C-alpha cells in the first residue's frame, strides 16, 4: 500500500498476530470452498496500517492473481462518497438535513397538487435514512442510460414517491443517492459535473489517486471485473450485477453504484472519517456532521429490504440501524454485516455481494475488504460478519482486566 500523509505502515500496534492469522486462514478457506474468487484486505489500527494483503484471483476467467493495487467496482460503497459530498455542502451552509428536495430540484414537484402533499415533504434526512418512500428499483432508466445523471434525475422526477416519507424504511438504491448527488451538485457548483466535484472535494485532497466516479481508461488494466455465480433468489440477479461492467464506463455518473477504488484508497477515506473529518492535516468534513451522522436515526425499525432475505435464512429480522448515509452496528445481538463483536458505534457502507469498509471508533480500527466474485446478499452478510468479528477480536487491550 502506498503511504500517504497521515498514515503509516507500521507493526507495533496492539493487534494479536495469531488473530490476524485466523483472519487470513478464514479467507483462504472461503476461497478453497469457492465462495468467492479473491480478496484484498486493508486494516489500520490507531492510524497505522497493519494489514495490506491480496488473496486468490482478481479474475477467475483469465486466472489473474489478486494484487493490493487492484481497482474494484465498489457498487454501493459509492454512496459513501455521495453522502460525503452532501455533508460538505451542509458544512458550508448550502444544504441542511431538513432541506426538502423541491427547494433545490424544483422539477421534483408534480403538476398534480395532490401528489405534492407527499413530494414537498421529502427531505435530505429522509433520503439519507431510506425513509423517502421512493421506489426500490435499481434502474429508473434503461441500462444504456443509467450512467447519465441528468436522464436519471428526469426519470426520478417523473416517477416520484410510492410511500409516505419519514415512516417505513424502504431501501431505494438508485433514487435516493441520485437525488442527493444532484442536490449537492446544484448548491455547490451547478455548472460542474457531479463526478468532477467528488474528485476535487474528496479524492484529490485525500490522495485517493486510484479512485474515481466512472471507470477511467488510465485504470483499465487494474480494474477487477464483476463476476457473479449465485442463483437468482432475491432482489438482484447475476445479470443485474455483471451488466455494470459495461454501464460503469469512463463517462458514467452513478452516485449510487458508479465508483471504482482500491483497498488502500478506501482505507484513507475510512481513516478520514475515523479522525473526525481530517487526514494528514487536510480537513474534509466537520466532526459535528460526522458525530450526528454516526448515531442511530432509525431506532428499532426494520429495513424492509432485509425481511424476505431474513426469512430465507431463518434469521430474526434485524433492525436497520441507520445513521445518516451509513450503516451502524448498533445495540443488541443480530446478524450484521459489521460483525457482532465490533462496538455499537461502528459504522460503514458495503456494496452488493462484494465490498465493505467500516470504522470502529472505540477500538480505533478501520477495515476494508474488496472481493472478486460477487456473492448472494445473505451469504455476503454472513461472510463479512465472520471476517469483521475476526478483525475485532484481534485487537488486544492490555491491562484492561485484572489477573484471575
Q: Are 53 and 41 in contact (CB under 8 A)?
A: yes
The more confidently predicted of residues 10 and 316 is 316
Per-residue model confidence as pLDDT tens digits over 140-169: 999 999 999 999 999 999 987 888 898 899
Q: What is the pLDDT of residue 276?
A: 98
Q: What is the pLDDT of residue 234?
A: 63
SS (H, E, C) 76-98: HHHHHHHHHHHHHHHHCCCCCCC
The highest-confidence range among 19-33, 110-124, 222-236, by mean pLDDT, is 19-33
- CA gap 375, 35 in Å, rounded: 7
Q: Are 188 and 138 in contact (CB under 8 A)?
A: no
Q: Are 337 and 387 in contact (CB under 8 A)?
A: no
- Name the percent of the chain lying above pLDDT 70: 94
Q: What is the pLDDT of residue 237?
A: 85
Q: pTM of whole model > 0.85?
A: yes
Q: Please provide residue 50's backbone torsions phi and psi, each rounded to the nearest 5 degrees.
A: -110, -20
Find, among 330, 331, 324, the residue nearest to 288 by Cα.
324
Q: What is the pLDDT of residue 10?
A: 41
Tell me the pLDDT of the chain averaged across its residues. Answer: 93
Mean pLDDT of 18-38: 97
Q: What is the pLDDT of residue 50?
A: 95
Per-residue model confidence as pLDDT tens digits over 52-65: 999 999 999 999 99
Mean pLDDT of 275-291: 97
Scored b (16 or more CB within 10 A) or e, 42-73 reads: bbbbbbbbbbbbbbbbbbbeeebebeeebbbb
Residue that has been written with the C-alpha cell 432475505 in this structure: 309
- Residue 58: its H or E element: strand 48-59
Mean pLDDT of 105-109: 95
Please say if the pLDDT value at position 309 is more than 60.
Answer: yes
Amino acid at each position: 500500500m502506498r503511504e500517504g500523509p497521515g498514515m503509516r505502515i507500521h507493526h507495533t500496534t496492539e493487534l494479536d498476530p495469531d488473530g490476524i492469522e485466523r483472519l487470513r486462514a478464514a479467507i483462504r478457506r472461503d476461497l478453497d470452498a469457492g465462495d468467492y474468487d479473491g480478496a484484498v484486505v486493508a486494516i489500520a489500527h490507531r492510524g497505522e496500517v497493519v494489514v495490506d494483503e491480496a488473496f486468490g484471483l482478481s479474475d477467475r476467467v483469465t486466472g489473474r492473481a489478486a494484487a493490493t493495487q487492484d481497482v474494484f467496482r465498489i457498487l454501493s460503497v459509492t454512496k459513501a462518497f455521495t453522502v460525503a459530498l452532501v455533508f460538505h455542502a451542509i458544512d458550508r451552509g448550502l444544504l441542511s438535513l431538513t432541506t426538502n428536495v423541491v427547494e433545490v430540484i424544483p422539477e421534483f414537484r408534480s403538476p398534480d397538487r395532490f401528489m405534492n402533499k407527499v413530494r414537498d415533504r421529502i427531505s435530505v434526512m429522509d433520503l439519507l435514512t431510506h425513509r423517502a418512500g421512493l421506489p426500490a428499483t435499481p434502474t429508473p432508466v434503461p441500462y444504456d442510460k443509467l450512467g447519465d445523471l441528468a436522464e436519471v434525475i428526469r426519470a426520478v422526477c417523473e416517477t416520484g414517491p410510492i410511500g409516505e416519507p419519514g415512516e417505513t424504511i424502504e431501501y431505494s438504491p438508485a433514487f435516493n443517492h441520485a437525488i442527493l448527488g444532484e442536490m449537492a451538485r446544484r448548491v455547490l457548483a451547478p455548472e460542474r459535473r457531479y463526478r468532477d466535484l467528488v474528485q476535487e472535494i474528496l479524492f484529490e485532497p485525500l490522495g485517493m489517486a486510484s479512485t474515481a466516479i466512472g471507470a477511467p481508461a488510465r485504470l483499465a488494466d487494474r480494474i477487477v471485473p464483476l463476476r457473479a455465480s449465485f442463483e437468482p433468489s432475491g432482489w438482484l440477479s447475476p445479470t443485474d450485477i455483471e451488466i455494470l461492467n459495461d454501464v460503469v464506463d469512463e463517462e458514467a455518473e452513478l452516485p449510487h453504484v458508479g465508483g471504482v477504488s482500491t483497498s488502500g484508497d478506501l482505507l484513507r477515506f475510512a481513516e478520514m472519517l475515523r479522525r473526525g473529518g481530517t487526514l494528514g492535516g487536510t480537513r474534509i468534513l466537520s466532526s459535528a456532521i460526522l458525530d450526528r451522522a454516526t448515531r442511530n436515526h432509525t431506532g428499532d425499525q426494520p429495513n424492509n429490504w432485509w425481511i424476505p432475505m431474513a426469512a430465507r435464512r431463518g434469521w430474526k429480522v434485524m433492525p436497520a440501524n441507520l445513521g445518516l448515509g451509513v450503516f451502524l452496528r448498533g445495540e443488541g445481538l443480530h446478524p450484521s454485516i459489521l460483525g457482532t463483536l465490533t462496538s455499537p458505534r461502528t459504522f460503514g457502507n458495503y456494496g452488493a455481494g462484494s465490498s465493505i469498509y467500516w470504522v470502529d471508533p472505540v477500538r480505533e480500527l478501520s477495515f476494508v475488504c474488496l472481493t472478486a466474485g460477487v456473492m448472494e446478499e445473505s451469504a455476503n452478510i454472513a461472510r463479512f460478519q465472520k471476517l469483521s468479528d475476526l478483525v475485532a477480536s484481534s485487537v488486544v487491550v492490555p491491562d484492561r482486566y485484572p489477573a484471575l
